[in-house]
Amino acid sequence: MKVYGVIGWKNSGKTSLMERLVAEITGRGVSVSTVKHVHHTVDLDQPGKDTFRHRQAGAREVVLASADRLAILVEHRGPEPELPAVLARLAPVDLVLVEGYKRDAHPKVEVWRAETGQPLIQPGDALVRAVATDAALSLPVPVLDLNDTKAVADFILREVGLV
């Protein structure tokens, strides 16, 4: 599987770009999975539901399976899982787009907008191969139009050899 990251500071537009990239790339016949890194506690389950009750009783993994969807809820204690461990659990696809995990060692596109008030990550990370932005920047890496999803997708697919 090829892995490519979309990184940036909070409210920079990462999730919107990810959504558009998945639609654009899958529309070209490339299979895509995504990984989203979060820094806060997340619980997709709801108190009182059967799967919640299974977890509360001590199940390490709970699988919720239907005709349309399969969800695996995994309980773990300790540090959050590292990206390689998360990737190892995925079914094979052509491309995994990773939102977040900005310090990990995989190629990335940085989403940057001046409104966030944050500095660019790219100058300190050689794995940031391009910056997608709505600003005019002069950088040692390609500067992509944040609103041109096709161009960003073309760049990523070229980088991973899927064109």
DSSP state of 92: P
Return d(Cα 23, Cα 16) in angstroms, integer: 11
pLDDT at 47: 86
Nearby residues of 155 by Cβ (< 8 Å), 6 or more positions away = 109, 129, 130, 142, 144
Let me know: does 138 contact 125? Beta carbons within 8 Å: no
- Each domain of the chain, given as residue ranges in start order, spans 2-40+80-160
As averages over each run of 10 residues, the pLDDT of the chain (163 residues) reads 96 96 98 87 77 88 90 84 94 96 95 96 97 96 98 98 94
DSSP state of 116: G
Token couple for 28: 């070209």
pLDDT at 18: 97
Let me know: does 140 contact 120? Beta carbons within 8 Å: no
pLDDT at 48: 86
Range 2-40+80-160 has CATH code 3.10.310.70: no
